Amino acid sequence: MERVLHDTWYARPAARSWTCEPAPAGVREFHAALAGYAPTPLTETPGPAAGLGVACLLVKDESSRLGLPAFKALGASWAIHRILAARPGDDPVLLVTATDGNHGRAVARMARLFGQRARVFVPKGVHPAAVAAIAAEGARVTEVGGDYDEAVRGAARAADEPGAVLVQDTAWPGYEETPGWIVEGYSTLFAELDEQLPGTPDLVVVPAGVGSLAQAAVRHYRAGTGAPALMTVEPDSAACVLASLLRGAPVSVETGGTIMAGLNCGTPSSLAWPYLRDGLDAAVAISDADSAAAARDLAADGIAAGPCGAAALAGARAALTGEGAEARRAALGVGPGATVVLLSTEGPDANPAL
């Protein structure tokens, strides 16, 4: 366990020339056929752009995605679709997962839409309103006594029962197929971005918990559609991706409290790790205060971002401005003419604790 993280910056510009296979075809078409599907907006935000020293700052706003206030339903819906398609017969299944909020709500919603039952494990301290939002989808919610990693272990045990299937958005050795489907599901977000943004952005900023969304970004942009720099942003109290990149091997960090509940993860996904190691340009860690300030500034420009969503702007600020910014900008290849895309992964309603 890493207890204190002193470094808050990692860069590896060679990542830009690394390539990998893209996500499979058909995911976007699947989502487009779901009730309520619409591409989420990509919005220019001149206010926060001014201080960043770039030409154009765009926000991919996931505050309303398939009727929920975060991007997670993209992964849950595709994975549950694949799980059900792979099962013989029509017997209903119990879909089990662990969450610090958004993923569990998405699994519960999709289970209901697909006519299945759901059981959701939450770490200690998840706000009662977040629990209520999951329960309102018809899921049984179980609070464990510990952190997110302990909730994942609880869900994995419960999914050992006959008729139960684990739908987890993080992978570990021996459990990688379903998390792989979840990552595939996220590809729709990037397919939309390609349509909305003519040309390749210079930098895409991705809030990271276990790194699955960042894995989807790497898979998309390192598969030949262009080569933006890719950077993750984590809370400084739960920066497992940054710590792993600095170490050169996956490590677990001890986590505490953060307003960025969806990013409060202590262990990178085993499936994401090789993609992050080889295909990610940079990683940065930020404080709760940075995230809160970024949310306020986005709100002033009409973007409703929750703490995880606003983390992207806070991360861009940490990387592109302040002491030592010249070297960090050079590592990212970001000059005054650059176009930067922030993934604002949730709206304020995703985190009723605030």
Ligand X SMILES: Cc1ncc(COP(=O)(O)O)c(C=O)c1O
Which residues, 301 to 320, sit near ligand X by CB under 6 A? 308
Is residue 239 a contact residue for ligand X (CB under 6 A)?
no
Min. distance of Cβ 314 from ligand X in angstroms? 13
Q: How many CB atoms lie within 10 A of CB 180?
A: 18
What whole-number distance in Å separates Cα of residue 29 and Cα of residue 267? 32
Shorter beta-carbon distance to ligand X: residue 339 or 345: 345
Min. distance of Cβ 319 from ligand X in angstroms? 17
Q: Which of 120, 213, 246, 334 binds ligand X (CB under 6 A)?
A: 213
Q: Count interface residues toward ligand X (CB under 6 A).
A: 20
What whole-number distance in Å separates Cα of residue 234 and Cα of residue 267? 12
Is residue 179 a contact residue for ligand X (CB under 6 A)?
no
Residue number of the CB closest to ligand X reads 262
Measured N-to-C along each axis, helices 73-86 and 177-196 cross at an angle, to the nearest 10 degrees, of 130
Is residue 222 a contact residue for ligand X (CB under 6 A)?
no
Min. distance of Cβ 198 from ligand X in angstroms? 26
Give the tokens for residue 202.
């210079």
What whole-number distance in Å separates Cα of residue 52 and Cα of residue 94? 47
User: Active-site residue among 60, 61, 90, 100?
Assistant: 100
Query: Is 72 one of the annotated active-site residues of the chain?
Result: yes
Question: Which residue blocks in the chain are alpha helix, DSSP H?
Answer: 27-32, 46-50, 73-86, 102-113, 128-135, 148-158, 177-196, 212-221, 240-247, 273-279, 288-300, 307-320, 325-332
Compute and round to an integer the Cα radius of gyration of the chain.
19
Q: Are strands 94-98 and 164-166 parallel, antiparallel or unpaired?
A: parallel
Is residue 11 a contact residue for ligand X (CB under 6 A)?
no
The DSSP output letter for 159 is T
Which has the closest alpha carbon to 200: 333, 62, 4, 324? 333
Over the window 72 to 101, marking each residue x when it contacts ligand X by CB under 6 A and - when it does not, the resulting string is x-----------------------------
Span from 110-118, 211-219, 291-299, 334-342 in contact with ligand X (CB under 6 A): 211-219
The DSSP output letter for 41 is P
Q: Which of 149, 192, 281, 346 binds ligand X (CB under 6 A)?
A: 346
**HEC sequence for 57-78:** EEEEECCCECCECECCHHHHHH
Give the tokens for residue 214.
């960042």
Which residues, 114 to 173, sit near ligand X by CB under 6 A? 169
Min. distance of Cβ 191 from ligand X in angstroms? 17
Measured N-to-C along each axis, helices 128-135 and 102-113 cross at an angle, to the nearest 10 degrees, of 10
Shorter beta-carbon distance to ligand X: residue 94 or 208: 208
User: Active-site residue among 61, 72, 202, 297?
Assistant: 72
Q: Which of 45, 116, 178, 212 binds ligand X (CB under 6 A)?
A: 212
Q: Which of 65, 82, 103, 105 binds ligand X (CB under 6 A)?
A: 103
Shorter beta-carbon distance to ligand X: residue 111 or 283: 283
Shorter beta-carbon distance to ligand X: residue 235 or 338: 235
Min. distance of Cβ 334 from ligand X in angstroms? 22
Min. distance of Cβ 90 from ligand X in angstroms? 31
Measured N-to-C along each axis, helices 325-332 and 307-320 cross at an angle, to the nearest 10 degrees, of 110
The amino acid present at 191, given as its one-letter code, is A
Q: Which of 27, 134, 210, 294 binds ligand X (CB under 6 A)?
A: 210
Query: Is 60 one of the annotated active-site residues of the chain?
Result: no
Positions in the binding site for ligand X (CB under 6 A): 70, 72, 102-103, 169, 207-214, 262-263, 265, 308, 345-346, 350
Active-site residues, by number, are 72, 100
